[in-house]
Amino acid sequence: MQSPAPTELRYRRETRELVIAYPDGEYCLTAEFLRVHSPSAEVQGHDGRGGELPRHKEHVAITAIDPVGNYAVKISFSDGHDTGLYSWDWLHELCMQREHLWRIYKERVAAQPAMNDVAKTSAVRFIPGK
């Protein structure tokens, strides 16, 4: 079943939230949430099994929202990310599953140490003369 198209998209710069209105109500998604759930291959992976885990996006903002036909928008972010099309189906899914998706994202971040953390804890043992 195809998701309904939003009746309005409105960005609140001061709170960095995208308000998405549907006939049945309004939903607010933060720029951070939208950025870490980008439909881009960089984030979702080329095979759909997950790509890069975006981190430290707490202060990211939306810099542009451009319509793509009658089925999606392209969202550009202050960190330079601007790939991936947010289809009406994807936006609706994000609205409906926001709490669940956010919890999973936070669990993934907690379970996967950042590269800098790995570098600090990983060591190569060197034994002279061996």
Task: Please tell me the distance from the alpha carbon of residue 18 to that of residue 34, in angstroms, as a whole number.
Answer: 9
Angle between helical axes of 98-111 and 88-96 (0-180°, round to 10): 80
- 112 vs 101, higher pLDDT: 101
- For 40-80, write each residue's pLDDT tens digit: 988 888 776 677 889 999 999 999 999 999 999 999 999 99
Q: What is residue 87's DSSP assignment?
A: E
- 41 vs 118, higher pLDDT: 41
The pTM score is 0.83
- 103 vs 128, higher pLDDT: 103
Domains and their CATH numbers in the chain = 8-121 (3.30.2020.30)
Specify the pLDDT at position 48.
Answer: 62
Task: Please tell me the distance from the alpha carbon of residue 26 to that of residue 47, in angstroms, as a whole number.
Answer: 32
